[in-house]
Amino acid sequence: MKNKWNAAFQLAAVYVGTVVGAGFATGKEIVEFFSQFGFIGLIGILISGAIFSYFGSKLMRISVKIKAKSYQEFTIFLFGKWMGTLINIIMLIMLIGVCAVMLSGAGAIFEEQLGFSKATGVIFTIVLSILVMAVGMKGLFAVNTFVVPIMISFSFILFFYTVQMPDFASHIFIDKNSSWKAFASPFSYTALNLSLAIAVLVPAASEIGDEDTVKWGGIIGGFALMLILISSHFTLIMLEDVNRYAIPMATIMRTLAPNLSWVYILVIYGEIFTSVIGNVYGLERQLRGYIRLPGIMIIAVIFFISYAISFIHYGTLLSWLYPLFGYISLIFLLLLMLKPIPEN
């Protein structure tokens, strides 16, 4: 029983680490989908937490039942062979786009926070990713199990400082923007992240192979994501003109807890790094079925394409690609909701 719970918490850490990537860790993604809408954004976060827990758990239980080794097998089960193949091609484009956002985020940290060039940050991340990926899934588990608890801790440290600010309570209930995007955001946001997370969660769940363990891994991971989203949202709404910052969380940390700001930048980088590994791992697993090349060559091609795209400005890349991919991913969420878990 103890081993089951250990495995469930490890899987939850991988789930959180996969979702908490460049946009989430820097705060830019949370601003884009939630914080710019004020109180409506908070309601959206609560809805997102429920979706993450239920559907994350469901997709991993299905993966165990059908013994899916890659997200390609999972999407074919979900959509059928013809439509599944089309969805896999779209997913391939999306994952490469997200890898580019992650690398661009890493470059933005080196440029905006550390004073290095963006290219230095991107190249350093690529080299480090290849070294960790050489270890395989164990390397991904190890990095996430270390980084995710630290990320959660820092989110709550910032939250602790934020609630002590004199005008905190009044900011919570401000309704900044009640457009249709505010109401669609929790669904497009979770659809985007779940459709991208299957690249990691499907093989991870299949490797564990126990339905009960992966069910609780999904529930715990979804709940943890909701808590981090809430604490980050409460912090971000206190920042004036939050949309203009590429890395708003680091800006807030520098203001509220300057002694911890450098450590927090490393934590943000760690979360970006885990997402890069997870996405490239999922891409490599899918492309292996189409391209007869050694795994390291496939990884090199993925990084080369992502590297080229990553030099578009990080904020522009995220603000344009993430909402677009979110709306495309809504069909994935709908099919996942309608598809029953196989009995055997």
Blockwise average pLDDT, block size 10, the chain, 344 residues? 76 81 70 83 92 92 84 82 80 80 83 82 88 70 72 79 77 69 84 82 83 89 90 83 73 77 79 79 75 79 84 70 76 84 76
pLDDT of residue 2: 57
Q: Which residues touch 25 (CB under 8 Å, ≥6 apart)?
A: 105, 151, 249, 267, 268, 271, 272
Find how far residue 256's CA is from the centre of its chain.
25
pLDDT of residue 75: 83
Sign of the C-alpha dihedral computed for residues 6, 8, 11 and 15 taken in this order: negative
pLDDT of residue 222: 92
Rg (the chain; Cα; Å): 19
**The tokens of 40 are what?**
């409506």
Spatial distance between the Cα atoms of 333 and 195, rounded to a whole number of angstroms = 8
Task: Report the length, in residues, of the chain.
Answer: 344
**The tokens of 205 are what?**
């769940």
Instruction: List phi, psi (to 5°) of 247.
Output: -130, 70
Q: What is the pTM of this model?
A: 0.77
pLDDT of residue 22: 52
Spatial distance between the Cα atoms of 233 and 230, rounded to a whole number of angstroms = 5
DSSP 290-304: T--S-HHHHHHHHHH
Spatial distance between the Cα atoms of 149 and 224, rounded to a whole number of angstroms = 10
